[in-house]
Amino acid sequence: MSLTDLLGTFMLLLAIPFFWGGSLGLLRFPDIYTRLHALTKADNLGLGLVVAGSILMSKEWTVGVKLLLIWLAVLVASTISCYLIANAARKRKITPWKIP
Amino acid sequence: MNYYLWPALFILISVVMGLIRILRGPTAADRMLAAQLFGTGGVAILLILAQAMQMPSLVDVALIYALLAAVTMVVFVRRQWGNHENERKMKDESH
């Protein structure tokens, strides 16, 4: 087992806490704005770690470029959807959560 | 089986845990957020499986998944949840 494989496996393992954090945030945060925050940040960082680990373990550089494109597509998608949902929620006059 | 499958299993558990929000979520957008969690987690699981099972075509599946997740959310907000004037006309109770 080479060093890059070891580093890639470490990154895959490091991605798991971010996914768990995203799911816990989605379950426990009080309103839609904070849930957007949990989902679009933590999960994309976890996916970035998975992509980085896969790039380290991939054998051809073209596969690495494709993996980077996938991460870019997911980042763009989550950014756009976060803006659209927050904007629609504001138009519906859903008030942001405040510390009671 | 090889040990690359363990991270995929843990990510799958976290995604299934997030699906509880579909049952509870007060607004429709909360439920769609759980669907987006499924999109992100599904892409990660597919990438790990492509490594673990030596199937490079799964990377293409993950790419399609990522692109479809974007389209899903945009269509949901533009056609369903965003324009609630239409929705009020249709007497939709789902906030």
pLDDT digits (tens, 9 = 90+) for B74-92: 888 888 777 766 556 555 5
Would you list the domain boundaries of chain A?
Answer: 3-91
User: B94 lies in a domain?
Assistant: no
For the entire predicted model, the pTM comes to 0.86
For residue B78, the enclosing domain spans 5-89
Phi-psi category of B25—alpha, beta or left, where left has phi over 0 and alpha has psi -120 to 50?
Answer: beta
In a domain, B95, yes or no: no
The residue of chain A with its CA nearest to that of B85 is: A92
Nearest Cα to B88, choosing from A52, A51, A92?
A: A92
Query: Mutating which of A12, A32, A65 best tests the B interface, going by the most B Cβ atoms within 10 A?
Result: A12
Closest Cβ–Cβ partner in A12, A36, A67 for B33: A36
- Which whole-number Å values give the CA distances from A43 to A37, A93, A98, B14, B75, in the listed order? 10, 27, 24, 11, 22
Contact A70 B59 (CB under 8 A): yes
pLDDT tens per residue, range B50-72: 988 888 899 999 999 888 888 88
Count of domains forming chain B: 1
Q: Which of A27, A35, A37, A70 is most worth mutating to test chain B (most B CB atoms within 10 A of its CB)?
A: A70
The complex scores an ipTM of 0.88
CB contact under 8 A, B10 and A16: yes
Q: Domain for residue B56, yes or no?
A: yes
Residue-wise pLDDT tens digits, B1-45: 577 788 889 999 999 988 888 888 788 888 888 888 888 999 999
Domain presence at residue B77: yes
Burial of A88 (0-12, 13-18, 19+ CB in 10 A): buried
Query: Across the interface, which of B37, B47, B73 has its CB nearest the CB of A54?
Result: B47
